[in-house]
Structure 1
Amino acid sequence: MTRSVTILKSHFTKNGGAEKYARCLADAFHQKGCHVTVLTTGPIDTPFSFEVISHRLKSKTSVSKVWEFEAFCDQYLKKHPSDIVFGMDRNRSQTHLRAGSGSHKAYLEHRKSYESSWKRFRHMINPLHTTLLHMEKTGFEHPDLKVLFTNSNLVKEEILSHFVIDPKKITVIHNGVQWHEWQESFDTWEKDSSHFEFLFIGSDFHRKGLIPLLKGLRQLSERDFHLSIVGSDKNQKHFQHLAQKYGLQKQITFCGAQSDIRPFLQRADCLVIPSFYDPFANVTVEALAMGLFVVSSKTNGGCEVLTPETGCTIEDLKNMTPALEIALKHPKTRQRALLIRESVKHLDFSTQLNTYLDTCLLPTS
């Protein structure tokens, strides 16, 4: 009997990681012989091998768009019940849910560590935040929810601490990486500098922890290093000023947003992820697949895949220097890079995708 699968994803055709994951998941269900329908919004310019139904939003504000998409999904599912309703956003009702962005409640809690009391107050009264918190709580605690997927144990534990949910419903599947597809890029890496190359990737420099990284670099006794910063931030001039203030301006390059990060991964020795909060930063496994030593904060769920041979965690973001000193002892060599890359072979994207399918398509009783 053909199983019906309805995937809820408000944005489906954009180029982000979550959108790509949704498209791959939909195609994988389709390849398994399921009847797949995707409910989304916005223009659909590319033909798909499965059904995509897009709702044209009439709302103007962010919060009203959330409610309009929720109503659209609810109305459709009442008319077209599905064996599997797979949520990939924050809808109130689904049978399976991937909390790829973690818990919004936990995210707001983590923001308190680096934001002013005024901003925290604004979050409390912001209707978008209150709506997302309501959607999240209802979705996580809904009796129809069979499986809640998280991409790290960090997110799992945060959900269990904030919500009433049976732990048995939660399945942790770490983010995957295009391990096989990136083989050629790995084989052709070549360092073009005698310096130790640190790499920082991400936008929203504040949340991603660029300030503690700059402070940590300033305190290093070893000065023969360079840091490439890949990503954009509306306050970039502020961070450039900080780099100058700390005497690091000649050792740092702001590279802006990049469509392909592989050339930067090829040139680097170490990726640093000092995030105040990341459910699971994709760049963690991408860097490992390219043979880089990774330094990560404990509040990046991706740190769960690190070993002493492949990376280290930052014990205290207020003092990053010890972790950076460990990294300096692990420059990229062919032998070390091969060992690091091999550590995430089991996280190949296709393997992780099949784990989702196997869990969702278990025989029904």
Structure 2
Amino acid sequence: MKYQITLLKSSLTQTGGLEKYTWQIAQRFCQKNLPVTLLTTGASHPPFISDYLNIVSFPIDYRLSVLNLLQFNRCCAQYIKKHPTPIIFGLDRNQFQTHIRAGNGVHAAYLNYRAQEEGVYKKLSFFFNPLHQMTLQLEKKAFEHPELQILFTNSHLVKQEVLSHYDIAPEKIQVVHNGVEWTALEPHFQSWHQKKQTILQELKLPSSCYHFLFIGNNYRRKGLSKLLQALSLIDNQSFHLSVIGKEYHLADFEQQVSELNLESKVTFFGPRNDTYQFYQYADSLVIPSFYDPFANVTVEALAMGLFVVSSARNGGSEILSPTNGTVIESLEDISSFAQALHTALSHPKTEKSAVAIRESVKSFDFSHQLDRMVELILDPV
């Protein structure tokens, strides 16, 4: 059958953004009555049922990540050889696909950024790390494969990184920015103003100051240390920072807060499943990432009416404009970072500004972005 589709995504046992995206795109194809075979290493209960969906789960569960990566690639290659389809859409790390969504960015670029931030010894360690080396090999084979038809990137930042690291025709690359559940967030957005004070009271936060918000796991790579330094340069401004996310070395950041005399202005909340209520009371979201292909929180925050401060190394910064956000010129220049925060302080969230910011990302509705990708996949076939 001409429109048979094979999807590749290793583990689907988690509930993260990439897992959700995989299920959503599988459902889109099934809704078009197109047979979909999903190759994975484990799938929790599918969020939908369809006669057009066939899940093939390979029993792979090694302790070493590199072995899981290697074996999944082998299993997929063997299956595809026996069951070829005209569309092989990869959302993971595999050596061959006709279509790829590089949602995690370019691993070669990621390692370069890490080396810049963590020093020469860390860079040397990458050469002896089998997981990094295998990922780089698969990435090169996939991106430079002659049968690759479309490589989807979620930002122009990632597109340029692909072109700088690999030999691929630019016309094969399509940029489709990450989408947001724009409609699903509407009830939370509509009630933010009336719930703000109640939430602040429940969380024991100050009620009459400017509220910055930081969301991200692994605070170092997400740039929290730089943010704290920049905040320490702000004088004569009443503000508070809420920090959301998982961090194994939390004590190090708590000590930095103490050393910078920010104890009364920073609260660590750890991982949370109710981030929407933090969006409801916050004025702005700060995303000082050292590398983010496209941080989903960028468009989520905008859809909740928040002004966004982002590093240029976050692909999501591409959708910012002077009315809904600002880009930090340099993470290395803390005074430049502080200036971006001052810009945010001049944009407190009001009912009027929140509506305007939310409307600025209406076109990034998740369904619209997903449909665009599906159309680009099916149209050339």
Q: TM-score when scaled to structure 1?
A: 0.98
Give the total of aligned pairs.
364
Q: Distance in 1 between matches of 2:8 and 2:117?
A: 33
Q: For 1:255-266, list aligned pairs within 5 A.
A: 255-266=269-280
Q: Distance in 1 between matches of 2:11 and 2:61?
A: 15
Q: Distance in 2 between matches of 1:100 and 1:265?
A: 24
SS class of match (2:268) = strand
Deviations 1:115-164 (A, max 9, x none): 13222221221010000000000000001100000000000001001100
The range that moved more, 52-61 or 91-100, is 52-61
SS class of match (1:313) = strand
8 Å contact 1:2–1:33 — kept in the other structure?
Answer: no
Deviations 1:44-96 (A, max 9, x none): 44474211111111533111111100111011111111121000011000000
Shift of 1:251: 0.6
Q: Distance in 1 between matches of 2:352 and 2:44?
A: 46
Q: Distance in 2 between matches of 1:330 and 1:258?
A: 26
Q: For 1:177-256, list aligned pairs within 5 A.
A: 177-190=180-193, 191-192=196-197, 193-256=207-270
8 Å contact 2:11–2:43 — kept in the other structure?
Answer: no
The amino acid of 1:321's aligned partner reads A
Query: Which residue does the alignment assign to 1:34?
Result: 34
Q: Distance in 1 between matches of 2:12 and 2:123?
A: 31
SS class of match (2:192) = coil
Q: Distance in 1 between matches of 2:12 and 2:377?
A: 20
Q: Distance in 2 between matches of 1:347 and 1:45?
A: 28
Shift of 1:307: 0.3
Structure 1 segments, 4+ long, off by >4 Å, are none
Q: Distance in 1 between matches of 2:380 and 2:163?
A: 27
Of the candidates 284, 289, 292, which is equivalent to residue 270 of structure 1? Answer: 284
The range that moved more, 54-63 or 166-175, is 54-63
Question: 1:239–1:88: structure 2 CA closer, same or farther, 3 Å change rule?
Answer: same
Query: Which residue does the alignment assign to 1:89?
Result: 92
Q: Distance in 2 between matches of 1:295 and 1:363?
A: 38
Q: For 1:91-240, list aligned pairs within 5 A.
A: 91-190=94-193, 191-192=196-197, 193-240=207-254
Deviations 1:260-316 (A, max 9, x none): 310000010000000000000000000000000000000000000000000000001
Q: Distance in 1 between matches of 2:49 and 2:65?
A: 28
Question: 1:144–1:363: structure 2 CA closer, same or farther, 3 Å change rule?
Answer: closer
Q: For 1:270-309, list aligned pairs within 5 A.
A: 270-309=284-323
Q: Distance in 1 between matches of 2:43 and 2:30?
A: 21
Q: Distance in 2 between matches of 1:59 and 1:203?
A: 25
Q: TM-score when scaled to structure 2?
A: 0.94
Shift of 1:363: 4.5
Query: Which residue does the alignment assign to 1:322?
Result: 339
The range that moved more, 206-215 or 5-14, is 5-14
The amino acid of 1:33's aligned partner reads N
Shift of 1:222: 3.1
Query: Which residue does the alignment assign to 2:349?
Result: 332
Shift of 1:360: 0.5
Q: Distance in 2 between matches of 1:76 and 1:48?
A: 23
Question: 1:330–1:44: structure 2 CA closer, same or farther, 3 Å change rule?
Answer: closer
SS class of match (1:7) = strand
8 Å contact 1:141–1:163 — kept in the other structure?
Answer: yes
Q: Distance in 2 between matches of 1:187 and 1:294?
A: 19
Query: Which residue does the alignment assign to 1:360?
Result: 377
Residue 347, structure 1, aligned to residue 364, structure 2: yes
Q: Distance in 2 between matches of 1:361 and 1:106?
A: 30
SS class of match (2:327) = strand
Shift of 1:2: 5.5
Shift of 1:221: 1.6
Residue 78, structure 1, aligned to residue 74, structure 2: no
Residue 68, structure 1, aligned to residue 71, structure 2: yes
Query: Which residue does the alignment assign to 2:58?
Result: 55
8 Å contact 1:10–1:69 — kept in the other structure?
Answer: yes
Q: Distance in 1 between matches of 2:61 and 2:317?
A: 41
8 Å contact 1:212–1:274 — kept in the other structure?
Answer: yes
SS class of match (1:112) = helix
Q: Distance in 2 between matches of 1:73 and 1:219?
A: 52
Deviations 1:156-186 (A, max 9, x none): 0010011000000000000000001111100
SS class of match (1:89) = coil
SS class of match (1:200) = strand
The amino acid of 1:145's aligned partner reads L
The amino acid of 1:222's aligned partner reads N
Shift of 1:3: 1.1
Q: Distance in 2 between matches of 1:253 and 1:197?
A: 11
Q: Distance in 2 between matches of 1:355 and 1:60?
A: 38
